[in-house]
């Protein structure tokens, strides 16, 4: 078979077919000459679910395949723990899913999450397609479900759904927008071959991603262990040790001290959180550091929200200086970062705490000490809250820190 090259957005692609034709659709471009151009409604049945999560007495008990079941899975299988709900007999008849159906997300807070597909890979008796999803049932002798799902993920076919989604704060697809979507359709044997090829290749990619993620986890564990070892045991493996008297710290070098964190802060700039109700973000005002901002990447003037000068004026005691440490006490607790000089005069919200330090304390050493497992464990044990955990500011002040001489 002759191979041809084609330019596509600056990249070269091998073209496995000898003949191509213009599809007549701008986003699709050329397709193999023997492929058909079809609207989805001519090769599949489309139904938009109206089965919500509420259970109503007297209705039939069912299992519900929801938005997240589709969004986070390429295949819908028996391994998923579906939600219990109820439905009318008509809903059971219309929205019961079966092997070979393709489910797509039909509305979302972001248009980029529109038309995310998943194939129903198992027989799922009693499972219904839930609200926020559309159920697509291909005509078996014309359209392969795995090929359709892969097509919905491709640039071009996917884009037409995202463009068709209506909304401002929430985006949604109408049934007509889904049914009139246009696809390039090869022969059924080709569809099977393409789907099988993509299943094999994406499985390889997923395996590589999993290995990389595991490597990152191991490196992060090594990094944490290295920090913890250095800030609790020092660099000399032969130094005499003593019992720290603190369960979380175990032994420390004999010439080190254990101090409460508040003893390392100046008396006029104590550990504290900031503005309780900063109000909506404003274009002109004082930058504020939230718990989610506590990272070197986020601590930038162009990334931070701002509160009004009037609101901030009541919280002058929690203003920041360049070199201060900030500690996330809500949400992703335990994140620590140093305030850059260009954020001098910024303030905090109640989700982050300022940790200033005395002139006899080395700032970058304290940064790593607060990142260590031994110190974080003290605070994590007392973290409050079920969905959004938080560190009590009193516990942060009282955290036990192993303190070497400044030269160390």
Helix, strand or coil, per DSSP, at residue 267 = coil
DSSP string, 6-37: EEETTEEEEE-SS-EEE-S-TTT-EEETT-EE
Q: Which range (5-14, 86-95, 311-320) has the least confidence? A: 5-14
User: Is beta strand 347-348 parallel, antiparallel or unpaired with respect to 336-338?
Assistant: unpaired
Alpha-carbon distance of 23 to 29, in angstroms, equals 6
Q: 3-class DSSP state for residue 95?
A: helix
Residue from 88, 95, 99 nearest 124 by CA: 99
HSE-CB at 404 with a 13 A cutoff on CA atoms is 18
Q: Which residues on adjacent β-strands are paired with residue 327?
A: 336, 353
Question: What pLDDT, on the 0 to 100 scale, is given for residue 333?
Answer: 81
Topology of the domain covering 230-403: Adenine-n6-DNA-methyltransferase TaqI; Chain A, domain 2 (3.90.220)
pTM above 0.75, yes or no: no
Q: How far apart are CA 299 and CA 128, in angstroms?
A: 46
- CATH 3.90.220.20 region(s) of the chain? 19-186, 230-403
Find out whether 82 and 64 touch, Cβ atoms under 8 Å.
yes
- Nearest of 366, 337, 377 to residue 353 by alpha carbon: 337
pLDDT band at 310 (very low <50, low <70, confident <90, very high): very high
19-186: CATH, from 3.30.390.50, 3.30.70.920, 3.90.220.20, 2.40.160.10:
3.90.220.20
Judged against a pLDDT cut of 50, whether residue 4 lies above it is answered with no
More confident residue, 325 or 10: 325
Cβ neighbours of residue 191 closer than 8 Å, sequence gap 6 or more: 143, 144, 147, 185
Which stretches within 48-124 are classed as H helix? 67-71, 89-95
Rounded CA gap, 368 and 334, in Å? 11
Q: What's the confidence (pLDDT) of residue 170?
A: 85
Closest alpha carbon to 42 in 136, 132, 117, 114 = 136
pLDDT digits (tens, 9 = 90+) for 15-51: 567 799 988 888 888 899 999 999 999 999 999 999 9
3-state helix, strand, coil in the chain (%, to 5): 30, 25, 45
230-260, pLDDT tens digit by residue? 999 999 999 999 999 888 888 999 999 999 9
């Amino acid at each position: 078979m002759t191979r041809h090259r084609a330019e596509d957005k600056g990249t070269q692609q091998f073209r496995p077919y000898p003949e191509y034709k213009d599809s007549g659709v701008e986003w699709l471009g050329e397709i193999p000459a023997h492929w058909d151009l079809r609207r989805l409604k001519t090769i599949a049945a489309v139904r938009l679910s109206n089965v919500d999560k509420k259970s109503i007495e007297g209705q039939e008990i069912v299992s519900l395949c929801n938005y997240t079941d589709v969004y986070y899975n390429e295949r819908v299988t028996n391994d998923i723990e579906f939600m219990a709900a109820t439905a009318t007999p008509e809903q059971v008849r219309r929205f019961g899913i079966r092997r070979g159906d393709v489910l797509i997300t039909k509305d979302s807070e972001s248009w980029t999450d529109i038309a995310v597909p998943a194939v129903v890979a198992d027989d799922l008796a009693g499972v219904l397609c839930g609200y926020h999803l559309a159920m697509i049932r291909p005509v078996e002798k014309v359209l392969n479900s795995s090929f359709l799902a892969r097509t919905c993920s491709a640039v071009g076919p996917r884009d037409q759904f995202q463009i068709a989604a209506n909304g401002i704060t929430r985006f949604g697809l109408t049934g007509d927008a889904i049914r009139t979507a246009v696809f390039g359709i090869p022969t059924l044997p080709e569809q099977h071959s393409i789907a099988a090829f993509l299943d094999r290749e994406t499985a390889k990619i997923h395996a590589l991603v999993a290995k990389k993620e595991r490597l990152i986890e191991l490196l992060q564990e090594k990094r944490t262990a290295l920090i913890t070892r250095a800030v609790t045991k020092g660099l000399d493996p032969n130094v005499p040790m003593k019992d720290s008297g603190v369960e979380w710290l175990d032994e420390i070098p004999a010439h080190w001290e254990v101090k409460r964190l508040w003893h390392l802060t100046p008396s006029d700039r104590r550990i504290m959180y900031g503005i309780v109700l900063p109000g909506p973000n404003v274009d002109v005002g004082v930058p504020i550091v939230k718990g989610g901002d506590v990272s070197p990447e986020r601590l930038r003037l162009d990334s931070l929200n701002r509160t009004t000068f009037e609101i901030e004026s009541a919280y002058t005691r929690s203003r920041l200086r360049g070199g201060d440490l900030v500690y996330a006490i809500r949400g992703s607790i335990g994140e620590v970062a140093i305030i850059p000089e260009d954020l001098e005069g910024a303030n905090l919200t109640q989700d982050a705490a300022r940790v200033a330090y005395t002139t006899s304390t080395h700032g970058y050493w304290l940064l790593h000490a607060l990142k260590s497992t031994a110190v974080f464990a003290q605070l994590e044990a007392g973290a409050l809250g079920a969905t959004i955990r938080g560190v009590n500011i009193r516990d942060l002040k009282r955290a036990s820190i192993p303190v070497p001489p400044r030269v160390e």
